[in-house]
Amino acid sequence: VIISLIRKLIPDVARTPCEIVVIAAFVTITKMLTEAFLPELYNSLGVFLSLLVVNCIVLGRAEAFAKDNSVVDSLLDGVGNGIGYTWAICVIALIREILGTGLLTFGKIFTFLPFVEIPVLKFGSVNLAMSFFVNPAGGFLVLGVVLAVIALIQQRAEKKKKFKKVAEMKKIIHEEAK
């Protein structure tokens, strides 16, 4: 209903992010109310309420791409995004686990694999782990740093391309001047 009321006020390029914000707000309110008034239901649902927002992000992105592209392109985009989201979640989880617990933990995924903890940030009796990173705020901080590093890498690659083009143009001009 809220989205229907505001859809004419929002430009097409901002429609999907605005829809996600509205859905995220309602999911958060529902999650808080469930936790306050129905704690047993909240405990049984666990993380799945929060995953509704992630689901909306993925579906919103897929819908935005699929409306202007072919089925094959949409399929490839979906597979690529799925792999990308998986890698992003794994990298962020790995960083958070190492910084937050000081351990690299391999759980018992299959029955024949043992549970293994490798100390990474422990030196003798000194544990350099910072429990802040296992909390949601630590996740946001790690996400921000990872995004900043990616932006820096992209920025440097773009500069390198520009310098290469300028060097090629100088070479062409120099050769023509001969």
pLDDT tens per residue across span 18-70: 878 888 888 889 889 999 998 888 888 877 887 877 787 777 778 778 878 88
Residue 133 has pLDDT above 90, yes or no: yes
The predicted model scores a pTM of 0.63
Q: Quick one: which H or E segment has residue 167?
A: helix 136-177
Average pLDDT taken over every residue of the chain: 86
Q: How many CB atoms lie within 10 A of CB 170?
A: 10
Contacts of 141 (CB under 8 A, 6+ apart): 132, 133
Cα separation values, 7 from 10, 17, 53, 85, Å: 5, 12, 19, 28
**Does residue 149 register a pLDDT over 90?**
yes
**First-to-last CA distance in the chain?**
70
Q: Check the CA dihedral 105-106-109-114 and report its sign.
A: negative
